[in-house]
Amino acid sequence: MWFLYAALKGDAESVAAAGCSGHGRVLLDGIVGEDGRPGCECNTCFEGPDCSARTPDCTVDADSGDPMFLEPYWMRHAEASAVVVSGWHRMSYRATDGLFQSVELERCIRRLHRAVGNAVADDKQIVFATGSMQLINALVYALSPDSNSGSTANVVATTPYYPPVVVGSSAILDHAYFWPHFTHIPAPSDADVMLFTTSKLSGHASSRFGWALIRDEKVAKRVNDYIMQNTMGASRDTQLRMLAIFKTILANLHGKEDIFAFGHDVMTAKWRKLSAVVSRSRRISLQNIPPQYCTYFDKIREPSPAYAWVKCEREEDSDCSDVLLKAKIITRSGVWNDASSRYTRISLIKSQDDFDLLLERITEFVDAELTAAGSNSIPAAPPRLLAVAASSPSAASPPDAVIS
Chain mean pLDDT for the chain? 86
Q: Please tell me which of 123-137, 253-267, 380-394 the model is most confident about, judged by mean pLDDT.
A: 253-267
pTM of the model: 0.85
Name the residue among 322, 328, 359, 366 with its Cα closest to residue 344: 322
**Across residues 296-325, what is the average pLDDT?**
97
pLDDT of residue 224: 93
**Across residues 340-355, what is the average pLDDT?**
97
φ/ψ of residue 100, rounded to 5:
70, 20
The string of pLDDT tens digits covering residues 130-180 is: 988 999 999 999 998 765 555 666 665 556 555 545 555 678 999 999 999
Name the residue among 348, 339, 332 with its Cα closest to residue 63: 332
**pLDDT value at 250 more than 90:** yes
The string of pLDDT tens digits covering residues 194-216 is: 999 999 999 999 999 999 999 99
pLDDT band at 385 (very low <50, low <70, confident <90, very high): very low
pLDDT of residue 33: 80
Do 171 and 191 meet the contact criterion of CB atoms below 8 Å apart? Answer: yes
Dihedral of the alpha carbons of 327, 329, 331, 335, in degrees to the nearest 10: 10
pLDDT of residue 11: 56
**pLDDT value at 9 more than 80:** no
List all residues 6 or more positions away from 278 whose beta carbon is below 8 Å from its beta carbon: 284, 285, 286, 310, 362, 366, 383
Structural domains present in the chain: 2-57 (2.10.25.30), 103-255+396-403 (3.40.640.10), 259-372 (3.90.1150.10)
Name the residue among 404, 391, 387 with its Cα closest to residue 161: 391
